[in-house]
Structure 1
Amino acid sequence: MFDNLHLTNMLRSEVESVPETGLPLDAFPDKIQEIILNLARYENFNVEYTVSIILSAVATAVGNSCHIRIKGEWKTCPSIYMMLVGRPGLGKTPPLGFIYKPINEYDDRLHEKYELECDEYERAMSVGKHGNDGEGQLLKKPNFVTTVIYDSTPEAMMNIHQHNQRGITLVVDEILALFNSVKRYNSKNNLIEDLLTAYSGQPLKVIRKSESRPVLIKNPCVNVIGSVQTNMLQEVFRAEFLANGLLDRFLFVYPKKQEDIRMETGRKEYSPP
């Protein structure tokens, strides 16, 4: 027997033309289906983008807290590399910002905590310099912990992941910016190699002269999500990325519904439960 919510979702799915996309919406729990359909109805979000971004956000939230056993000792974390493909105006960015908002708010609280710890550390160090108080020597320098990274050098990305062993996610508005960063920094940029290694679940180890200690991440968990315009796909499918297998690891999301996002006035906004 189907409950009321399940039946309602089935009817609303028909209204939103979800079956025409081939999207298996019924694979999600009824409550998640309701949220997806509400976002389509009240925020005009593309259903296919919304579902894909939810998968990315859930993978980010789970991180290394749960692994999937593929076979025998072969285990993997929920790591998804995703590209949202579409022309300008199709509505790739709005659902990305909305769905990742709870994770960003969690990161904001971590940042506030970090700022307080830094203030306490600096106060203790200042007291220690002007007196015999050993409090400053007992305190460890705070580490910045965050989950979502929008722009950083590869070295900073590795350091952040070291302090957040649960996992990190690279969120880039334009995925080409991530790829082009390989050229932006220096010839020893190992971003692509690190992404390939992390996706395979192999340890990440970085030893540099500038670092007092090596960076070691035994169980990397990295998610990547970003958008790319349809007419820029040829820049993504460059020979070097095809040869090293990076693009084979990406999930490309190109919706069948090609309606531009509608900005309607006087329409009720959706607030998730």
Structure 2
Amino acid sequence: MSEKSTPQLILDKAIDLSVNQTGSGFPISIFPSKIQKIIREVNDCYGFPIDYVGAAMLVAVSVAVGNTHLARMKEGWDESAILYMALIGRPGANKSHPLSFAMRPFVEHDYEQNRIFEKQYLEYQDQLEMSRKERAEKGIDVCPREPVRHRFLVSDITPEGLSLIHSQNRRGLCLLSDELSAWVKNFNRYNNGSEEQFWLSVFSAKPTMSDRKSSRSSIFIKRPFISVIGTMQKRILSELAKGERSANGFIDRILFVILKHEMSNRWSMKQPSFDVADEWQNILSRLMCIECAYDENNDILPVIVPFAEEALERLFEWQHNLSDKCDTEPNETLVGIYCKLQIYAIRFCLIIQMARWSCNDAGKDVIDLISVERAITLAEYFMESAKKVQTILKELSLTAQQLAIVTALPPEFTTGSAIAVAAENGMSERALMEFLKNFNGKLFQKSKHGNYIKL
């Protein structure tokens, strides 16, 4: 079944076309009109780049959903809403403010919960100082239980500490890092590769166990949910590709958000026409307030959300087409990215459906065709972003001479013209041919004998 040009999908395309004309590539049409309105307003009044705002809101919805709902592809195959995302840009690209805006409802929630926890903990300490008899006389439990701090957000933390917090907040968490490079650099701070493996496992929602001496006790989390989001400068991107991270697929799990055109923020005199923070709080709160059912082991019993038949057919059609592309793609790095985006597309379907429900635009008992089409649009946006990141990583690994040659080469060139450009930059013909060979499928693509295309 091919994409249907329904009135809604035609409108979606028109919305994205109008946004593209402003220099943004993020498809805000994936969101209900209420969220679109917020994105446009903060862009107009505060100068927050649409890509950063939209992407951060996407992660916020994912965190609010957490383990409460799963998208069911078929029996035995359920996907959660876990996302790993990096907002990429130069210093001063206005990355942090959109992230703070999108995550503010969680900050407010966690702040209030921390106040409640501090009060409860003081009462708990007072109860510990009482005798058993005094507790009984006051109607207090003979063995007081230490209170739990309920939260959505964590920052710089070890896997052991995170496992403990997650065991107390099984609905799900978000690792929020203003500088995501710190998250990556900490992977080998204790045991070589152990933290990286932890995050590879969490991405797939595989059970996690913590038996370290530093832990309070053995912790087993049947279905972890930890989304990750943060900012990163372009020049730090190479940190992500160090060691085994390119080979083990870690970098393929990260959704990158890169602006088409990076421009310094211009202050605007324009005032918001409505309370954008309050409106966003109301939308997200409906998801945050979803009641969870628990089993006898205190594990969440998620609501299973199936796909409508035509929606599933469309998703399978898209996946088959992408698989065909993988079979002919010479660049193995891109193949890895395409494979992870197939999984992400399912997660996008769930997140988009839940966002529509939170705005009263749709139900949440089934994932429909509109959510699937929008998820596909979003997957293709991140596909293009991943290609840009790969290009940046290759450029960061180039020598000054190689970079000068790549910059000087036209979009399409012949071997002869490349030799001439190389000679102008002091590179021999033999070195050039080796350069073209090593970066074929990465920086260049051989279209036919003696002809190349810059990727």
Task: Give the TM bin, normalised by the shorter chain.
Answer: 0.7 to 0.9
Residue among 152, 173, 176 paired with 2:178: 173
In structure 1, the residue matched to 2:78 is 75
How far apart in 2 are the matches of 1:23 and 1:16? 8
Change (3 A) 1:39 1:126: same
Q: Deviations over 1:137-162 (max 9, x none)?
A: 33201122221112222221111111
- Structure 1 CA distance for aligned equivalents of residues 257 and 146 of structure 2: 42
Q: Structure 2 counterpart of 1:239, which letter? A: G
CA contact (8 A) 1:147 1:169 kept: yes
Going from structure 1 to structure 2, the CA distance change for 1:74 and 1:257 (only over 3 Å counts) comes to same
Residue in structure 2 matching 1:216, options 207, 217, 220: 220
* Gap change, CA 1:15 and 1:191, over 3 Å in 2: closer
Structure 1, gaps ≥5 residues long = none
1:182 aligned to which of 187, 198, 207? 187
Letter in 2 for 1:105: E
Question: 1:87 is matched with which residue: 86, 90, 106?
Answer: 90
8 Å contact 2:25–2:51 — kept in the other structure? no
Task: String of CA shifts for 1:46-98, please: whole Å, max 9, x gaps.
Answer: 00111111100000111001111133311121000001111111111000011
CA contact (8 A) 1:127 1:136 kept: no
Query: Which of structures 1 and 2 has the larger relative contact order (alpha carbons within 8 angstroms, sep 6+)?
Result: 1
Q: Residue type of the partner of 1:65? A: T
Residue of structure 1 equivalent to 2:61: 58
Flag structure 2 segments of 5+ consecutive residues without an equivalent.
1-6, 280-455
Q: 2:253: which partner in 1?
A: 249
What is the number of residues matched between the two proteins?
Answer: 266
Displacement after TM superposition at 1:43 (Å): 1.1
Aligned equivalents of 2:83, 2:36: Cα separation in 1: 21
Larger Rg belongs to: 2
- 206-215 or 160-169: bigger deviation: 206-215
Q: Is 2:147 the counterpart of 1:145? A: no
Equivalent residue of 2:266, what SS? coil
**What TM-score results when the alignment is normalised by the length of structure 1?**
0.88
Q: Which amino acid aligns with 1:146?
A: R
1:133 to 132, 135, 143: 135
TM-aligned CA distance change 1:138 to 1:193, over 3 Å? same
Structure 1 Cα separation of the partners of residues 75 and 196 of structure 2: 28
State the distance in 2 between where 1:260 and 1:76 align.
Answer: 39
- How far has the Cα of 1:189 moved from its partner? 6.8
Give the fraction of aligned pairs with identical amino acids, expressed as a percent.
31
Q: Counterparts of 1:63 and 1:56 in 2: how far apart (Å)?
A: 10
Question: Is 1:226 equivalent to 2:245 in the alignment?
Answer: no
Counterpart CA distance in 2 for 1:30 and 1:70 is: 27
252, 257, 261: which one aligns with 2:265: 261
Q: Which has the higher helix share?
A: 2
Shift of residue 191 of structure 1? 2.2
The whole-number CA distance in structure 2 between the counterparts of 1:114 and 1:221 is: 23
Residues in 2 aligned to 1:97 and 1:21: alpha-carbon distance in whole angstroms: 20
Give the conservation status (yes or no) of the 8 Å contact 1:121–1:136. Answer: no
